[in-house]
């Protein structure tokens, strides 16, 4: 968008318009009360090369064409997106959503015990992986469909909706049958075929940021889901690769207010995978609440020493209620109540 100065003459406006039109972009002149703005819709690089800032009567050139469209706060919505998952509100700036549970479903007993503990402490959804993406092909990859059945059993008993990872398009039918929220894992953020299928399943999606993905790329990945007509998308900051190796990943807390500014979608933080260390999970969770996150997804286990996956970062189920109370205080400071 080219904003003219209040003193710009009609001839100066016309000169800018002609210069733009010559490059083939679509030109829209919008006279305002004080100034005239000229919209140029098309290839931003070509417009950038024109040197419009130097032309007489031009005040400034403001890029408005972000690479992400549907996920952008600029485009479709000005209100933050708010939706419900089985009656639990997500987004909308007044709610703090707590998603908790084991990294991986290991057994009926393990899943039920954690589900009861997190429900009693105030969680609004149960997480748990049935299909696990593992760095080593020899590691435990989850119980598959049996894992989904165990999650459904825990949902039936506790009433908690289930968040579980959609790893591969071949699992689409099973995931659609059992999941209440479809998780796209960090390693699959740029699996565009998977995103399109996820967008078509008619369920809310929790989209995790890739290990080395920029926020622009995250929002463009969200566009893949949104363009299927699915508006119930949550973004998830789960830590990124940096030079720092002391923590498992580096939690990018700056991403939270940035995403809240540039997108209308709710932002959830995962302090478990970001840190890899349960001792850091509570402080990072409080920080996430304080920078305006819409919620947290956190790993909890009754006996983390025996967990088949991600034990060192899992909170003890017996400590979970105290953890929730502490995080809720920080969420309340930002005007949010537990969902
Ligand atoms: C998980 O949530 O268990 C998980 C594998 O997370 P991520 O995709 O962020 O590594
Ligand atoms: Mn995990």
Q: Which two tokens stand for residue 195?
A: 């995103």
Contact between 102 and 307 (Cβ < 8 Å): yes
Q: Is the CB of 208 within 6 Å of ligand 1?
A: yes
Contact between 232 and 83 (Cβ < 8 Å): yes
CA–centroid distance, residue 103 to ligand 2 (Å): 4
Q: Which two tokens stand for residue 201?
A: 């399943």
Q: Is the CB of 273 within 6 Å of ligand 1?
A: yes
Q: What is the pTM of this model?
A: 0.84
Q: Is the CB of 238 within 6 Å of ligand 1?
A: yes
- CA distances for 35 relative to 47, 125, 150, angstroms: 20, 50, 62
Helix axis angle for 108-121 and 320-333, nearest 10°, is: 40
| Contacting residues for 145 by C-beta, under 8 A, at least 6 apart | 130, 174
3-state secondary structure 95-123: EEEEEEECCECCCHHHHHHHHHHHHHHCC
CA–centroid distance, residue 287 to ligand 1 (Å): 20
Q: Each residue's pLDDT tens digit in the chain (339 positions)?
A: 788 999 999 999 999 999 999 988 878 787 777 888 787 767 778 888 899 999 999 999 887 668 887 898 875 445 799 999 999 999 999 999 999 999 999 999 999 999 999 999 999 999 999 999 999 999 999 999 999 999 999 999 999 999 999 999 999 999 999 999 999 999 999 999 999 999 999 999 999 999 999 999 999 999 999 989 898 999 999 999 999 999 999 999 999 999 999 999 999 999 999 999 999 999 999 999 999 999 999 999 999 999 999 999 999 999 999 999 999 999 999 999 998
CA–centroid distance, residue 292 to ligand 2 (Å): 23
CA–centroid distance, residue 55 to ligand 1 (Å): 51
Q: Is the CB of 103 within 6 Å of ligand 1?
A: yes
Contact between 289 and 256 (Cβ < 8 Å): no
């Amino acid at each position: 968008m080219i904003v003219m100065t209040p003193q710009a003459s009609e001839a100066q406006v016309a000169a800018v318009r002609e210069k733009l039109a010559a490059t083939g972009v679509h030109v829209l002149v919008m006279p305002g009360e004080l100034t005239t703005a000229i919209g140029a819709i098309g290839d931003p690089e070509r417009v950038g090369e024109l040197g419009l800032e130097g032309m007489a009567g031009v005040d400034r050139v403001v890029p408005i064409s972000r690479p992400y469209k549907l996920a952008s706060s600029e485009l479709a919505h000005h209100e933050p997106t708010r939706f419900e998952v089985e009656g639990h509100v997500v987004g909308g700036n007044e709610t703090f959503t707590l998603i908790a549970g084991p990294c991986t479903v290991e057994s009926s007993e393990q899943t039920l015990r954690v589900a009861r503990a997190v429900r009693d402490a105030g969680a609004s959804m149960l997480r748990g992986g049935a299909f696990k993406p593992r760095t080593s092909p020899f590691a435990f990859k989850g119980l598959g469909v049996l894992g989904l059945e165990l999650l459904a059993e825990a949902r039936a008993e506790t009433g908690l909706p289930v968040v579980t990872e959609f790893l591969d398009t071949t699992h689409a039918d099973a995931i659609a049958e059992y999941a209440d929220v479809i998780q796209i894992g960090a390693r699959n953020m740029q699996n565009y075929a998977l995103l399109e299928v996820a967008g078509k399943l008619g369920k809310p999606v929790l989209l995790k940021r890739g290990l080395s993905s920029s926020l622009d790329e995250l929002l463009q990945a969200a566009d893949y889901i949104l363009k299927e007509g699915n508006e119930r998308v949550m973004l998830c900051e789960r830590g990124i690769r940096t030079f720092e190796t002391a923590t498992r990943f580096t939690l990018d807390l700056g991403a939270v207010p940035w995403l809240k500014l540039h997108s209308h979608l709710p932002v959830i933080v995962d302090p478990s995978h970001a840190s890899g260390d349960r001792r850091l999970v509570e402080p990072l969770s409080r920080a996430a609440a304080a920078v305006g996150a819409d919620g947290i997804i956190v790993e909890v286990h009754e006996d983390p020493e025996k967990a088949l996956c991600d034990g060192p970062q899992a909170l003890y189920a017996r400590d979970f209620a105290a953890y929730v109370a502490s995080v809720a205080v920080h969420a309340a400071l930002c005007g949010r109540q537990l969902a």
